[in-house]
Copies of this chain bind each other. A is one copy, B any other.
Amino acid sequence: MKARIIIFILSCFSAQFLMAQHPSLILTKAGVEQMRREGTKSPLFSASLNEVQKEVDEYIAKGIKVPVPKDLAGGYTHEQHKSNFLMLQKAGVLFQVTGNEDYARYIHETLKAYALLFPTFDRHPSERSYAPGKFFWQCLNDANWLVYVSQAYDCIYDWISEEERNALNSMLFRPMADFLSVETPQFFNRIHNHSTWANAAVGMIGLVMDDEKLVQRALYGLKSSDLKSTQVDNDGGSILQEGQEEAGFIAQIDFAFSPDGYFTEGPYYQRYAMYPFLIFAQALANKKPDLKIFEHRNGLLIKAVYALLYQTNSEGEFFPFNDAQKGMSVYSRELITAVSTAFHYGHKDEALLAIVVDQGKVSLDDAGLEAALALEKANVKPFVKPSIMFTDGPNGDEGGIGILRQYANKDELTLVMKYAKHGMGHGHFDQLSFLYYLNGDEIIQDYGAARWVNIEQKSGGGYLNENKTWAKQTVAHNTLVINNASQFGGNVTEADKYHGEPYLFNATDENIKVVSAKNNQVYKNTGLHRSMVIIKHPSFENPILLDLFRVTAKGQNNYDLPLLYQGQLMKTSFDFEVHESMEKLGNSDGYEHLWNEAEAKLTKGTSQMSWFSKNRFYTQSFVSTAKDKIIHARLGATDPEFNLRRDPILITRRTTTGNTLFASILEVHGAYSTVSEIATNTYSQIQQLEILRNDEQYSLVAFTHKNGGSWVFAISNNDNAAEAKHEVVQNGEKFAWKGSFHLFDQSSNQK
C-alpha cells in the first residue's frame, strides 16, 4: 500500500516534471527567457516579432473559423484551414514571448473547435488524391497542419488543464496521428516529401504528448503495413521504391538526399520538404539530443540547406527544373527557418547572415534569435555561390547537376546542366537539358510546371493537364528530341530506373569552366553526350557559352534541338518564311502545343540568330548543314483553357544518318536604354564556328572573332582523366594537351 502511494507520487511528480518542460519542442523555456531578455537588442528580431504580432492580432480579430471541409486548394475552406495552422503556430510563439494569455485562449478555443469537428466525418469529400485528407483534400495538407499545430499545442500545453489536454489528445491529436500513419500507409511509409511531412507531423505531436510509440513510428516507419509495391501516387510515382526496406524520418534523411544534400525531386520540392526535415530535427535536437540528428549522415540536413541556397539564381530564385513554380526563392518562409537553423545547428557560418539580411526576417525560435543576435556583431559579407556539382542518389552515384557561375562586369552568368535522376512523379523528361541566367533573368528557360499553385480558377490550384502534356515533355526543354518523341517514351517508371553519367565538371580554371555528361538510356541505341563550356576572354565583352551536343546513333533519325530563349527575335542570318496560317507542330509529346510560326532552310556554315530581352542582346551562332532546318515555334496550341504562356521556341531540326554534333556559341552582348535610347554592341562578335573533328575519341571545334581572334576547343570524349595526355593532328596541325579538354588560342600563331 505504501509502496503504491510512493509510486503514485513519483509518477505524479515525474509527469509534473515532464509537463513543466513545455514548451520544449521548438521553443524552450531557456530560449523563451533569452528572447524576452535579448530579443529587443536585435532590430531584426524585434521587427520579425512585431510583424508576426500585427498579423496574428488582425487574424484573431476576425474570429475563429473552423469550417466543414469542402473545397480544393484555393477554395475557402482549404485556405481557411491553412491560414489557421499558420496563425496557430505564430500565436503559440507570441503567447510564450509576450505572456499575453489572449494568444493561448485563441489557440485553445481553435483546437477545441477542431477536436469537435474531427470525429464528425470520415475523409474530405473530394476524390482527387491517392491519400485524401481530413481537413484538406489530401493528407499532405493535414500533415502540414499537424506540423504547425503541434508547435502551437506545445506552447499552451502547460497552460491548459490536464483534463483539457486529455480531451484534445484523445479526441484530436492521437486520432489524427493514426489517421496520417496507420490509416493511410501509402502516404506515411514512402521515401517522398509527402511522407517526410507525415513523419514529422506524427513525430512532433508524439514529442508534445510524450507518446514514445508515435515518436518511434515517425522515426522508423510503420512496422507492418498493407502497402502493395504496385501502388502509385497521383503523379504516377511509385509508393515503394524497388528494394526499399526502411521507412520513417531517419530513412527520409538517408534516402531522399544524395551525400551532397541534393534532393532528387529538385529544389522547389526540396524547399517544401526542408521545413518538416528541419523543424522535426529541431524538436528532436531539443527532446532527444542523444539522436544527434543534425550530425546524422555527416551533417546531411545542414548540407541540404547549402545545396538549396546554391541552387538559386542571382535573385535567390530556385532553378525551376522538374515540377516547380517559378519565383519560389530564398525569401520563402521555409528558407527563413532553414537559414537560421543552418546557422544555429550548423557551423555558425557568418556567410549565411548575408542571406538573413536579404530575407529581412528571422524565425521566432532559438535559431532565429541566435542568427539575429549574431548579425549585430558580424561584419556581413556577400554570400558567394560557387560553381558546384551535385551528385544525385543516396550513394551519390546516380548522376547529378552541374552549376557553373561566371562573372563579367557587374553581371553574373549562371548555367545549370541536368543529368540527375528523373526525380519520380514530379520529374521532367529533361536529361542533359540546361538553364542559363543573366543575373536574375532567364536567358534560356526551363518552362517550369504548368500550374498556378493555390489559384482555384486554374484547376483548383493543382497541376494542369498541360503539365503532363507540355511541361514534362522533352520538347519543353533545351535538350535533344529524337524522332519527335520524349525521352523514355514519356514513361516515368522507365525514366526512374536511369540517370545521366557525369563526365566532367571542372571550374578550377577561372576562364574555362566545363560541365559535361552523357546519357545512353533516354533513347534506345543512342548515345548522348553534352559538353558546355563557359569561356571568358578579353576579346569578348562577356563570357561566351560553347555547347557541344554529340549524338552516337545508327540509322537515320530526326533530331530537334529546342532553345527556349526569352525575348524578342531581332535578326537572323537566314531568311525565315513566316506562315500565312499557323499549324501545330505535331500531335503528341508536347508538339501539339507548339505553333509553327516560321521556318527557314539553313545553309552549310555558321548560322546566327539574335534576340533582345530586358535591354540586352543575345546571339546564338551555330554550325548548320545544308540539310538543317530551323523552326520558330510559339507555345499555345491545343490550350483550351489558356493555361500556357505564349513563349517562343527556336527548334533546330536535322535529319541525318549516324553520328552527329550540334555545336553552338551563345553570347550576351551590348545594352540598350529606352531612356537614353543609346544601343551598344548590338552585334555578335563571332565570325565563324566550325567543327574540325567529331568522333568517339575527340571533338574539336574552331571559332573566330570579328577582330581576327581565333580558337580551337578540344575535348576527349572517352577519357576524362585529369592526367591523360592527348594529341590530335588536324589539317596538318598538331593539338596536344593534358587533361580532358583544352582551349587553344590560335590568334597569335595564325599563318
> Could you list which residues of chain A lie within 8 angstroms of chain B, going by C-beta atoms?
74, 79, 325-329, 331-333, 452-458, 461, 568-571, 576, 578, 580-584, 595, 597-598, 610, 612, 632, 634, 636, 638-640, 642, 645-646, 648, 672, 674-679, 682-683
- The complex places the Cα of A676 from the Cα of B331 at a distance, in Å, of 9
Q: Which of A74, A327, A582, A597 has the most CB of B within 10 A?
A: A582
Residue of B nearest to A640 (CB): B578
User: Is B677 touching A454 in the complex (CB atoms < 8 A)?
Assistant: yes
With contacts A325-B677, A583-B581 known, is A672 near B455, CB below 8 A? yes
- The complex places the Cα of A412 from the Cα of B331 at a distance, in Å, of 26
List the 5 closest pairs (A to B, CB-CB), nearest first: A327-B674, A569-B642, A582-B582, A457-B571, A453-B677
Please, could you name 15 A-B residue pairs with CB atoms under 8 Å apart, sorted by A? Answer: A74-B679, A79-B678, A325-B677, A327-B675, A328-B674, A333-B676, A454-B678, A455-B612, A457-B571, A457-B683, A568-B642, A580-B584, A581-B584, A598-B642, A634-B636
With contacts A331-B675, A675-B327, A677-B325 known, is A458 near B640, CB below 8 A? no
Q: Which of A326, A612, A642 has the most CB of B within 10 A?
A: A642
User: Is A457 touching B576 in the complex (CB atoms < 8 A)?
Assistant: no
Q: Give A52 Cβ to nearest chain B Cβ, in Å.
A: 14
- The complex places the Cα of A434 from the Cα of B333 at a distance, in Å, of 41
Please report whether the interface of chain A is mostly helix, strand, loop or mixed according to DSSP: loop
- The complex places the Cα of A426 from the Cα of B674 at a distance, in Å, of 18
Residue of B nearest to A329 (CB): B675
- The complex places the Cα of A677 from the Cα of B268 at a distance, in Å, of 12
Copies of this chain present: 2
Residue of B nearest to A672 (CB): B455
User: Is B682 touching A455 in the complex (CB atoms < 8 A)?
Assistant: yes
With contacts A578-B640, A674-B328 known, is A457 near B682, CB below 8 A? yes
Residue of B nearest to A678 (CB): B454
Residue of B nearest to A572 (CB): B642
- The complex places the Cα of A329 from the Cα of B570 at a distance, in Å, of 24
Inter-chain contacts of A333 with B (CB < 8 A): 676
User: Is B332 touching A676 in the complex (CB atoms < 8 A)?
Assistant: yes
Inter-chain contacts of A455 with B (CB < 8 A): 570, 612, 672, 679, 682
Q: Give A576 Cβ to nearest chain B Cβ, in Å.
A: 7
User: Is A679 touching B454 in the complex (CB atoms < 8 A)?
Assistant: yes
Residue of B nearest to A580 (CB): B584
- The complex places the Cα of A571 from the Cα of B571 at a distance, in Å, of 36
- The complex places the Cα of A461 from the Cα of B595 at a distance, in Å, of 29
User: Is B332 touching A645 in the complex (CB atoms < 8 A)?
Assistant: no
Which listed residue (B74, B329, B595, B676) contacts A582, Cβ 8 A?
A: B595
Inter-chain contacts of A576 with B (CB < 8 A): 640, 642
- The complex places the Cα of A737 from the Cα of B741 at a distance, in Å, of 84
- The complex places the Cα of A248 from the Cα of B457 at a distance, in Å, of 60
User: Is A570 touching B679 in the complex (CB atoms < 8 A)?
Assistant: no
Q: Give A572 Cβ to nearest chain B Cβ, in Å.
A: 8
Inter-chain contacts of A679 with B (CB < 8 A): 74, 454-456, 461
Q: Give A649 Cβ to nearest chain B Cβ, in Å.
A: 12
Q: Give A182 Cβ to nearest chain B Cβ, in Å.
A: 30
User: Is A645 touching B568 in the complex (CB atoms < 8 A)?
Assistant: yes
Which listed residue (B461, B578, B642) contacts A639, Cβ 8 A?
A: B578
Q: Give A543 Cβ to nearest chain B Cβ, in Å.
A: 23
Q: Give A480 Cβ to nearest chain B Cβ, in Å.
A: 25
Inter-chain contacts of A584 with B (CB < 8 A): 580-581
- The complex places the Cα of A79 from the Cα of B675 at a distance, in Å, of 16
Known: A568-B645, A598-B642. 18 other contacts (CB 8 A): A74-B679, A325-B674, A326-B674, A327-B674, A327-B675, A328-B674, A331-B675, A332-B676, A455-B570, A455-B612, A456-B682, A458-B571, A580-B584, A581-B582, A582-B595, A632-B642, A634-B636, A646-B646
